[in-house]
Structure 1
């Protein structure tokens, strides 16, 4: 099903279709990681017939068996020669791996959808959230990037509002789960939580890298501005996706002891006042957004509830009492799904539906 948002009428158009992604051969670089595993889980449930999958990872993981549907697939070592028979390559690995593997995949005739930061701000590479700027896939030159997992829910909420009432400024404070740093950090949270359960915080200081029972106001390296690279990414990526470099954006990104789902407290300043009811209606009409906003009934988005869900959830929508043109809201989304794996598959679907991605080979031979 493809959903399109009309910012003029505030309605969505729904066109029933199942893009033939199952006809493609898809390589997954980083198949054994947290995002790669989520990608495979989504593929299992999203398509009635599974596409042909080629699972790739580092030499440490080569030889492992992963079951997808009823298929037992052997993980191969990712090399620059892995992509000759592949239509689309999903990469969720380090920037160094992306920079090495993506050009090789493009040279082999594949389209690359990259989950890392290596190409996001490259002017020749589209940075895409299909519900917002799906048309940008038209000008790709072999590589398409997806945004950082903290950027995606922010732009999903900003997009329908910005088209009706131009946004001037956004201040976002994020509460990001450990899965955003990979499976290793998830294991670390579990180990630390058990080991430090009875520790006395009055007599001991936090350990280096401690996330259990802690909150860490740093994600990625610090820059000369005092912001972290994660915070800079949110600003630059949001402006690029929204085609709105004029929007001023400031973020503070914080790691919290939650396994899955990122949350954000977002303050938006508009060109003119916007009432809560209008914002709620626009957000409810936005494909991929779910409004959960009944504070009196204890109904608002929380990480536990968003985990495993495809939508971005928004609640606690209210007037900003510090600014007449401001609104405040609370966002939560599964960072492994819409923040990464699902968005990548939706880009592939967008490419297929626009005729920009076709299988190299069909049952009858070369396509």
Structure 2
């Protein structure tokens, strides 16, 4: 009788379980894709395999993250030119006893620090305005000295300039010491400017450099800039630099180590990278044959043939990480910003749950007996 009672309990539990959904942390792949073959389905399913990777690569980008261009390094002469707002110091050496600039026992006249006017000129006593804007310190010295020859043929001039506000670059945010820094050399680059601000803050996973020049914004990742010296752009007066976190991210859900929003740690993230960043597939629950990437395309990208674009705007890409082709293809398949990377539940987990509950039920029946 005990055996029959236990059998009845087991059958009753199995029947009850078949009538309701088991508690679990993720869906089965079959549950998500079961309507894919219906003509009225709102999504399409595509496998991530080597033969289809070239097709997927030509499909439009998704995610809505703005893409900016970048400009390479431009050659510039060493030194800098004088601009409006710069401060100029002029010293005049004159040995003439009847000099208008120096006293009898004085050999040098140190003029007051002069600010370069908006038209690039400075005022020199007994001479008037001398235009030195756009010239180097040495060229400006010659201009001032030539202008003084009319009143003091023996005069010799020393001239030095200090960069003003207009001759500077602003590190707006994302650096350890933001502020405005003078451009001392015409060949000053973005990385040099960042070093003046103490470098990018450590809080960023994948820091992005944004260069604001006039009405145009340029952007590049800091890692790419460090790896390619030819991209270290030359700074211009008035440039603004912002260091910000990468706006690209994907969502991680399902039977995985992490269920959260994950920022791209580099410019391009593959599906295999994404699974690793998620903490891998759960050993006890996850289905390595059922890795899904859910992506939504613009309606304008939809194509009937599914070649130049997906056949539906909502797409589910499927990956099998138990096969060699699936692993290699996942390493080449690019995750787009705002993709949902989903690790489905293994069917074995449900079976284990049922067996465990049946075993518990049988144990309860034995206790009743």
TM-score range, shorter chain: under 0.3
Does 1 or 2 have the higher relative contact order (CA < 8 Å, sep 6+)?
2
TM-score with structure 1 setting the length = 0.23
More helix by share: 1
Q: TM-score, normalised by structure 2?
A: 0.23
Structure (1 or 2) with the larger CA radius of gyration? 2
